[in-house]
Every structure is written in structure tokens, then in C-alpha cells.
């Protein structure tokens, strides 16, 4: 068997779980509360073993500024596509966490448009399939879903799909007539060559986990900037989108097609208003590709990207100033732009008194020899400008 090549940015996802407080007794019988922070990693192997592995990464007590207390990682559950879902020709397209339950949305890999869903209950470690009626309306909306390099944002019980690329060849192959197929090999090669391209996703579709259905979310024309490999997050009903490529090129060495701005919009009463470009002083986010975004203390927007080299961009909402930091120069963090290695930001904190940021990264390493993925936690603290 040939070595398996995995794009870790699309095969590994993380879900942060709210802090869980537990009580423990001291010798004097006084009860104290300890906080445990949980991070769940979803590793989905659609290519060989046809399953989804849920890892639990746990660091207990409060996240101290100069130290991460004990860190543990273990396999929490394995969802085997054939046994647990009834179809092994699927892949995961979206996930969400609500009330200690992980909602998972799958789609078929072939030309038959079907959606499958299920819930993994964290408290009892059990997976429950959900029956979805694949109506004609749902099958039509499936065609609008991006195929790769998109993000999902969960807000108000809806999973929104932003950005990404749509495989034109797959969409057109779904509607090829028998007459179209009867062409010469030379003509067929030209046709396949011309349609086997990806185009930017310009629409927004969301999956409603209450109605178990897809819906189309319309924006004013030119409001939502089409891009892929972007980053995004949502806080207090405000959606933030950062970075990504604005045009599809096979050669991505040219940075002219990178979006260097921050877009935002607010959700209210189940209606989404148009996206606007944030105006601020200082530096725009630079080369934010496949970025992870966190809102810290309702004051700082922190965006991390491992594209080419590790870097972060911090927007201080209070002063309205943005600054880029090259982590290779700042904290001697070696480059991880290597095959089968990927970096994600899983948490961070900012100390406004000492002007320091505590950055917690996870290094994802894929071992081709044994087809395993391992995680290493990286903790770095350095000075920033506040």
C-alpha cells in the first residue's frame, strides 16, 4: 500500500468544551472547586479505516499564566461508519457542541446526495444516530455546500457554512446525460480538463439542528467576500471572518490573492445582516490561512495561522489597533510548514498587567508508518504591545 497523504487541516477538527467544575475535599473537610477544561479532537479517517475517532485532551485546574497543569489525552470514542451509521461511503462535513453533546453531520461521498447525522453524548460516552428525511429540497441545497477548505460556525442552534471551494466536476457529473457521455476520448479529455476545477463558494447554507434541515442564508450582493482556507468565530451573536485565499490557484506561493481584512456581522432574531469590513488602526491581519480565532476577555481578537510559518494577529478592540507577530522570531518557534505536521491554537490568555500573552498550541503529527496521529502541546509566553 502506498503511503497515505493526509491534509491535516481538513482531517482534524477541535471542539472546546465549557469548563466543568468538580468538588474535592481537603483534609479539613472543606470543599473546594476545581475546574477542568476539555478539548475534543475529531480525527476522521474517510480514506482507509472509515471511522471517526474522538480524542479527549484535558488540562485540569485553572490555566495558570506561567504553567499548564497536568495534560492528558485519550481516545474517548470511535464511531465506525458502517456499524454505527450504516454507510461507510460518507465523510464528516460539520460538527457542533451543545449541552455536553457533540452534533455530527455527514454526507455521502458518491453522487447520491444524502445527509446523515448523529449525537455523541459526552457524559455517557455513547453515539446516537439521527434519522434525517432527505427531501428533494434538502438534496438541492446539498449541491450548494462547499466541498473543501471551508469553515463552520455554530450559533443559535444553526451550523453555518462559510467560504470554501465547490468541485465543479462533481456538480456537473451529477447532471450529465447519456448522450453527453458518447464522445471521443480526445473530446472527453478536454471536457474533463475544463470542468475539473474548483470555484469559490459565494453562498451561505446552514444546518438547523432543531429542524434537521438545510436552509439558504441570503446576504446582500457583494456583502460576503468569497474565499477559502479562512478562519472564523462567533461571540455574543457577532460572527468574525478573517483571512483566506480570494481566488483559486494551483500555485499558492503568490500572496496577492490572500484576504488581509476582518469581516463581521451580527445575528439577531434569526436574521443575518450584511457583512462589513472592520476599520481599525495599525496592521491588517497578514497571511491568515487556515487560522484559529479566539475572543479574549471581550477585548482582544487573536488569530493564529501556521501557514508557511507560525504567526498571530491581535486586534485590541479597546484601542482599535491591530498588530502582527512572527512567532518564529518572537519565541524561537521552529517552522512547522512540513508535510504531515500541522499547528492549531487551542487556547490563549492575555495578561494586561504584564503585557504578556500565554499561547497554547497543539502540534498534530501524522506518522505514515503506522497511520497514527499524535498531539504535542506547546505553551509559549511572550510580550505584546497593549
Q: Per-residue confidence at 324, pLDDT binned at 50, 70, 90?
A: very high
Is the pLDDT at 170 greater than 70? The verdict is: no
**Once rounded to an integer, what is the mean pLDDT over residues 174-189?**
34
Q: Note the pLDDT of residue 271.
A: 61
Beta-ladder partners of 238? 235, 266
Distance CA 266, CA 279 (A): 16
Q: Per-residue confidence at 190, pLDDT binned at 50, 70, 90?
A: very low
Distance CA 310, CA 325 (A): 9
Q: Per-residue confidence at 171, pLDDT binned at 50, 70, 90?
A: low
Average pLDDT of the chain to the nearest whole number: 80
First-to-last alpha carbon distance for the chain, in angstroms, is 53
Q: Note the pLDDT of residue 312.
A: 95
> pTM for this one?
0.84
Sheet with 158-162, strands from edge to edge, namely 151-155, 158-162, 204-208, 213-217
Tens of pLDDT, residue by residue over 71-80, are 677 888 999 9
Q: Per-residue confidence at 130, pLDDT binned at 50, 70, 90?
A: very high
Is the pLDDT at 5 greater than 60? The verdict is: no
On whether the CB atoms of residues 149 and 161 are closer than 8 A, the answer is no
Distance CA 25, CA 360 (A): 30
Tens of pLDDT, residue by residue over 257-297, are 899 999 999 876 556 678 889 999 999 999 999 999 999 99
Q: Note the pLDDT of residue 29.
A: 52
Distance CA 79, CA 259 (A): 37
Closest CA to 233 of 151, 316, 342, 147: 151
Amino acid at each position: 500500500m502506498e503511503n497515505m497523504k493526509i491534509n491535516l487541516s481538513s482531517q482534524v477538527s477541535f471542539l472546546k468544551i465549557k469548563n466543568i467544575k468538580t468538588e474535592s475535599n481537603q483534609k479539613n473537610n472543606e470543599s473546594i472547586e476545581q475546574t477542568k477544561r476539555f478539548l475534543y479532537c475529531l480525527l476522521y479517517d474517510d480514506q482507509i479505516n472509515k471511522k471517526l475517532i474522538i480524542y479527549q485532551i484535558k488540562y485540569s485546574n485553572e490555566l495558570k499564566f506561567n504553567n499548564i497543569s497536568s495534560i492528558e489525552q485519550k481516545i474517548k470514542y470511535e464511531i465506525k461508519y458502517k456499524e454505527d451509521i450504516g454507510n461507510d461511503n460518507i465523510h464528516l462535513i460539520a460538527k457542533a457542541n451543545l449541552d455536553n453533546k457533540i452534533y455530527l453531520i455527514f454526507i455521502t461521498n458518491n453522487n447520491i446526495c444524502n445527509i446523515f447525522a448523529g449525537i455523541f453524548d459526552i457524559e455517557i460516552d455513547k453515539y446516537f444516530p439521527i434519522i434525517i428525511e432527505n427531501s428533494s429540497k434538502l438534496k438541492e441545497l446539498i449541491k450548494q455546500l462547499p466541498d473543501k477548505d471551508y469553515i463552520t460556525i455554530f450559533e443559535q442552534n444553526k451550523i453555518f457554512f462559510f467560504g470554501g471551494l465547490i468541485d465543479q466536476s462533481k456538480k456537473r457529473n451529477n447532471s450529465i446525460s447519456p448522450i453527453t457521455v458518447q464522445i471521443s476520448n480526445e473530446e472527453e479529455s478536454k471536457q474533463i480538463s475544463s470542468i475539473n476545477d474548483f470555484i469559490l463558494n459565494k453562498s451561505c447554507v446552514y444546518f438547523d439542528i432543531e429542524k434537521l434541515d438545510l436552509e439558504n442564508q441570503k446576504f446582500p450582493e457583494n456583502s460576503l467576500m468569497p474565499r477559502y482556507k479562512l478562519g472564523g468565530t462567533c461571540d455574543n451573536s457577532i460572527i468574525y471572518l478573517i483571512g483566506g485565499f480570494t481566488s483559486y490557484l494551483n500555485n499558492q506561493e503568490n500572496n496577492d490573492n490572500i484576504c488581509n481584512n476582518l469581516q463581521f456581522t451580527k445575528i439577531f432574531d434569526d436574521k443575518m445582516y450584511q457583512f462589513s469590513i472592520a476599520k481599525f488602526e495599525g496592521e491588517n491581519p497578514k497571511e491568515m490561512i487556515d487560522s484559529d480565532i479566539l475572543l479574549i476577555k471581550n477585548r482582544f481578537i487573536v488569530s493564529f495561522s501556521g501557514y508557511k510559518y507560525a504567526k498571530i494577529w491581535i486586534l485590541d478592540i479597546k484601542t482599535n489597533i491591530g498588530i502582527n507577530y512572527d512567532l518564529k522570531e518572537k519565541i524561537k518557534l521552529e517552522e512547522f510548514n512540513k508535510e504531515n505536521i500541522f499547528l492549531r491554537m487551542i487556547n490563549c490568555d492575555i495578561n494586561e498587567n504584564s503585557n504578556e500573552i500565554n499561547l497554547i498550541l497543539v502540534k498534530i503529527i501524522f506518522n505514515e508508518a503506522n497511520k497514527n496521529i499524535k498531539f504535542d502541546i506547546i505553551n509559549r509566553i511572550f510580550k505584546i504591545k497593549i
